[in-house]
Amino acid sequence: MASSKKMLQIFVASPDLGLPSRSLTLSPYLTLHSLKLSLFPSQNLTQTLNCLYFSLNGKPLLDSSTLSSADVKPSSLLTLRLRFSGGGGDGGATGAESRDCYLNMYAVKKPDKVDPNETRLSRWTTCAFSSEPLAPPCVIDRIGNIFNKESLVEALIHKRLPKEFSHIRRLKDMIPVHLSPIPDAGRQEMRFQCPISGLEFNGKYGFVAIKGCGHVLSGKALKEVKTSACLVCHKEFSELDKIVINGTLEEVALLRERMEEERGRSREKMEKNVGCSLSGAKHGVGETAGSLECVGKDRSAKRFKAVDIAPVNATKEVYASIFTSSKKTEFKETYSCRSLPLGRN
Ligand SMILES: [Zn+2]
Per-residue pLDDT of 125-166, as tens digits, reads 999 999 999 999 999 999 999 999 999 999 999 999 999 999
Using an 8 Å Cβ cutoff, are 29 and 67 in contact?
yes
| Ligand 1 center from residue 321 Cα (angstroms) | 43
Q: What is the residue extent of each domain of the chain?
A: 3-109, 117-247, 305-345
Residue 332's φ and ψ, nearest 5 degrees, are -100, 150
Angle between helices 285-302 and 249-283 (to 10 degrees): 150
Per-residue pLDDT of 205-235, as tens digits, reads 999 999 999 999 999 999 988 888 999 999 9
Angle made by CA atoms 166, 168, 174, in degrees to the nearest 5 = 160
| Ligand 1 center from residue 209 Cα (angstroms) | 9
Rounded-to-10 torsion of CA 169, 139, 154, 248: -60
| Stronger pLDDT, 43 or 180, i.e. the higher one | 180
What pLDDT score was predicted for residue 277? 54
Q: pLDDT at residue 179 above 90?
A: yes
| Ligand 1 center from residue 217 Cα (angstroms) | 9
Q: pLDDT at residue 35 above 70?
A: yes
| Stronger pLDDT, 142 or 111, i.e. the higher one | 142
Cβ count within 10 A of residue 9: 11
| Ligand 1 center from residue 201 Cα (angstroms) | 17
Residue 318 Ramachandran class (φ > 0 left, ψ -120 to 50 alpha, else beta): alpha
Instruction: Write down the mean pLDDT value for the chain.
Output: 78
**C-alpha to C-alpha distances, 247 to 130, 252, 256, nearest whole angstrom:** 19, 6, 11
Q: pLDDT at residue 291 above 50?
A: no
Cα distance between residue 226 and residue 36, in whole Å: 65
Q: Which helix (H) or strand (E) holds 193?
A: strand 192-193
CATH architecture for segment(s) 117-247:
2-Layer Sandwich (3.30)
| Ligand 1 center from residue 233 Cα (angstroms) | 4
Written as one letter, the residue type at 127 is C
| Ligand 1 center from residue 167 Cα (angstroms) | 25
Written as one letter, the residue type at 321 is S
Per-residue pLDDT of 244-267, as tens digits, reads 999 999 999 999 999 999 989 888
Mean pLDDT value of segment 271-300 = 50
- As to burial, measured by CB atoms within 10 angstroms (0-12 exposed, 13-18 middle, 19+ buried), residue 12 is buried
Cα distance between residue 13 and residue 89, in whole Å: 26
Residue 112 — very low, low, confident or very high, per pLDDT cuts 50/70/90?
low
Q: Specify the CATH class of 3-109 in words.
A: alpha beta
| Ligand 1 center from residue 244 Cα (angstroms) | 15
| Ligand 1 center from residue 211 Cα (angstroms) | 9
Q: pLDDT at residue 63 above 80?
A: yes
| Stronger pLDDT, 258 or 45, i.e. the higher one | 258
| Ligand 1 center from residue 229 Cα (angstroms) | 8
